[in-house]
Amino acid sequence: MPYFYLSVSVLMSASSSVFGKFFGRKNVGVKDASILYNCLQLTSVFVFWCVLYLFDFSFDVRVLPYSLLFATCFTVCNIGIITALRNGPMTLTSLFNSLSLIVTTVWGFVFWDDEVTGKVLLGLVLVVVSIFLCLYTGKKEEKKISLKWIIFTLMAFFGNAGCSIVQRTQQIHFDGQYKYMLMTFATFLSALVCLMIYLCGDKTQSKDILKNSWYFPVTAGSCNVVLNLFVMFLATSSLSPSFIYPVIGVGGLMVVTIFSLFVFREKLKWRQWFGIFFGAAATVLLSI
């Protein structure tokens, strides 16, 4: 059963990028489509966590600040990733999201007294190499990477890192308790923020978006919940964390790459492929 959870988790980890890209392709040039996507996705995530929370109800007012921090990072991450997917290559967007481990790792050195090992230092070096190879555009006549893509990818990068830091800090301070409460209140706040942004924007094409592609964000939100649940199950299984997290990280990146090549027909430079390889290696080293 643990290997089943792990296999499904690999597929679920790629879902955000894949469904987000499908949505972007279906709504090219549609104004405010990204924020509506996030409204639907985060609302579905909140509903699922709310149901789970009702079956394992617990409450401590001290957890609420963590929920607020997590909600901020979660909102920034989701806005960043869906907009980046609409303005750049899916494989590189997914890679940079995975490489947010570097921020969590450095934070662990400073605040969690994590051990600085040779493999971690090598992983950090490979992250730098990977980022350089992916962003370096070479000759002037080659197509440049969109500044808009870089900005929103960085939002997803730091937002995802912030989610990991807040979640682990809360679990450390509360001895592994109140995780359902944390996620329920956090996803509620995230969905509420996105709803407010959406209501203040242009809603003229909302009906067409909902009619043609509502199922992409809802499915992505469902997959996000399944991923988090299965990771929780795996945390108490016989499998080692040093095996679980690299498999999910690299496996998800491989699934995204397959979709990028054979479904979306994205083309990358040879140095960017090397960058992806070094990024995958860095993900493994920073996870074990």
Q: Three-state DSSP class for 184?
A: helix
Q: What is the pLDDT along the chain (288 residues), one digit of tens a residue?
A: 778 888 888 888 888 889 988 998 888 777 778 888 999 999 999 999 999 899 889 999 999 999 999 999 999 999 999 889 888 888 888 888 877 877 877 787 778 777 777 877 888 788 888 888 877 766 554 556 788 898 999 999 999 889 888 988 898 889 888 989 999 999 999 999 999 988 887 777 888 888 888 899 999 998 988 888 887 777 677 776 666 777 787 788 888 888 888 888 887 788 888 888 888 888 777 766
Give yes or no for a contact between 89 and 275, defined as CB atoms under 8 angstroms apart: no
Radius of gyration, CA atoms only, the chain: 19
Sign of the alpha-carbon torsion through 65, 67, 73, 75? negative
* Full DSSP string of 43-94: HHHHHHHHHHHHHT----GGGHHHHHHHHHHHHHHHHHHHHHHHHS-HHHHH
Cα→Cα distances 168→124, 174, 223, 257, Å: 20, 10, 21, 29
